[in-house]
Structure 1
Amino acid sequence: MPLDMETATTRPRAMRLRADATRNRERIVAAAREAIVELGPDVPLDEVARRAGVGNATLYRHFTDRTDLIRHVTLSVVARTVKRAEDALAQEPDAFTALRRFVFESADERIGALCSLLSDVFDRQDPAVVSQVEQMQRSINAIMERAQSAGQLRTDIAVGDLMAAVTQLTRPLPGTCCAGFDRFVRRHLQLFLDGLRAPARSVLTGEAATLEDLQARQP
């Protein structure tokens, strides 16, 4: 076979293989995100592979171990959360509407997967993760500060309060069947949002929580 014909034959095949590999990687990350939300960061990798519809060998070709997979899931969720926050801030003229949009879209992004940031297997000093988490904090802060400046959001809360509540409200209760859980999420998030509106109808105990507070290790 002439060289140019061989190149023309092998190039599409190589492109298909790369596309298949990319799809498999995306399916694994998406499946791991869902599994972490439902079962926690200690979810068996066999379960992740099953949900992704791939074999264990395929999973390990993309991710060397659980820590590597959790890192990529975290980076994916944080990056998508940043975009959601920035889009809401840029596209919504009303401050609280932007906050509401962000909260509901965070639920759709399965932001509960960020519980992995609190896992003992997670490297909190990873430069890429630190950079993205800081960007996420800035983006969410921008939404909250605009709503607070407009007098629409109570002033005794911070990013950590918002993230902790949304994360907890979008994860199934431990030991319960997950079937149908999603039908409660938007209902409970709306109740939460009603409690965030200013003027506040109660006095909160303690201090506003930051993301650093959520990540701090307990003695």
Structure 2
Amino acid sequence: MAGPTTRGACRVTATDSRTSPQPRLRADALRNRERIIAAARETMVEFGAEVPLDEIARRAGVGNATLYRHFADRLELIHHVTLSVMSRTADCAERALAEESDAFQALRRFVHDAVEERIGALCPLLSDGVDPAHPELLAARERLEAAIEAVMGAARDSGQLRTDIAVGDLMVAITQLTRPLPSSGCADFDRFVHRHLQLFLDGLLTPARSELPGSAATLDDLRRRP
């Protein structure tokens, strides 16, 4: 889907506010902050990490000044959007595993829930100025990877999940199947997502109908740069 861009804006130098202690926010300020992060998550999936900040503020229903009171620059906002997506997606995996009695149903539930958390936003965010070694991001990534590994491991141990895939394979598929196509003619793309995810999930069941080329992909594989 085509959308507004501001080339070069993403390279703004990050401020120290990502690492300094954050003051306790009033309830209304906290709501505004959460609305900004949610709006940024949505618009960055649609248009990429370079979406204009005034568009994010408009989607959040706040003024530009409010956005800048919470996030000094684009990189600080991207940092917190990335943390939010990782945390919320890990929550999905942990809840699915805890609440579903069938291991593969827990995997199905996690995949569909992860779509609603806009996990497709992670790839452009992690590749566009975010410090992958930041302690907050390392902790969030470790929690997310462990949560997904637990869901997949349970499905594998139950004999329902094919054994030749890993977390990276799952994440690539979810990301690719949930990113809007680069065409304004695909405005209703979201209505097909869960249908196609279900087709993908059926392909993960054992017995496998074919042998996959290459080797299973891990999250480390996805983080490696050429």
TM over 0.5: yes
How far residue 177 of structure 1 moved from its aligned partner, in angstroms, is 4.4
Percent identical: 67
- Match of 2:54? 46
Q: Which residue of 2 aligns with 1:168?
A: 176
Residues of 1 paired with 2:38 and 2:138: CA distance? 22
Report the AA paired with residue 157 of structure 1.
I
Alpha carbons of 1:47 and 1:177: their partners in 2 closer, same or farther (altered >3 Å)?
farther
Question: How far apart are the structure 2 equivalents of 1:178 and 1:36?
Answer: 17
Shifted more, 136-145 versus 113-122: the winner is 113-122
Q: Give the 4+ runs in structure 1 shifted more than 3 A.
A: 175-178
Structure-1 residue corresponding to 2:22 = none
Tell me, in whole angstroms, the C-alpha distance in 2 between the residues paired with 1:173 and 1:112: 12
User: Equivalent residue for 1:67?
Assistant: 75
Task: Report the alpha carbon displacement of residue 54 of structure 1 after superposing the two structures with TM.
Answer: 1.3
Task: Indicate the residue corresponding to 1:159 in structure 2.
Answer: 167
Amino acid at match of 2:115: A
Which whole-Å deviations, capped at 9, do the CAs of 1:131-163 have from their partners, x for residues lacking one?
110111111001111111111011110001101
With normalisation by structure 1, the TM-score equals 0.88
CA–CA separation in structure 1 for the residues paired with 2:220 and 2:53: 29
Structure label with greater radius of gyration: 1
Indicate if the aligned counterparts of 2:82 and 2:126 stay in contact, CA closer than 8 A. Answer: no
Mean Cα deviation higher: 114-123 or 130-139:
114-123
**1:143 and 2:142 matched:** no
Deviation at 1:206, TM superposition (A): 1.1
**Maintained 8 Å contact 2:49/2:125:** no
Please tell me whether the aligned partners of residues 161 and 209 of structure 1 are also in contact (alpha carbons under 8 angstroms): yes
Contact 2:57 2:63 in 1 (8 A): yes
Amino acid at match of 2:53: L
> Are 1:70 and 1:116, in contact at CA under 8 Å, matched by a contact in 2?
no
Residues 177 and 47 of structure 1, relative CA distance in 2, 3 Å threshold: farther
Which deviates more from structure 2 when the two are superposed, residues 43-52 or residues 89-98?
43-52
> Out of 4, 28, 32, which is 1:20 matched to?
28
Q: Which residue of 2 is the match for residue 5 of structure 1?
A: none
Kindly tell me the number of residue pairs found equivalent between the two proteins: 202
Aligned mates of 1:59, 1:178 — CA distance in 2: 30
List alignment gaps of at least 5 residues for structure 1: 1-16
- Which sections of structure 2, spanning at least 5 residues, go unmatched? 1-24
Match in the other structure for 1:3: none
TM-score, normalised relative to structure 2: 0.86
Structure ranking higher in helix proportion: 1
- CA RMSD between the two structures: 1.3
Alignment of 1:4-19 (within 5 A): 18-19=26-27
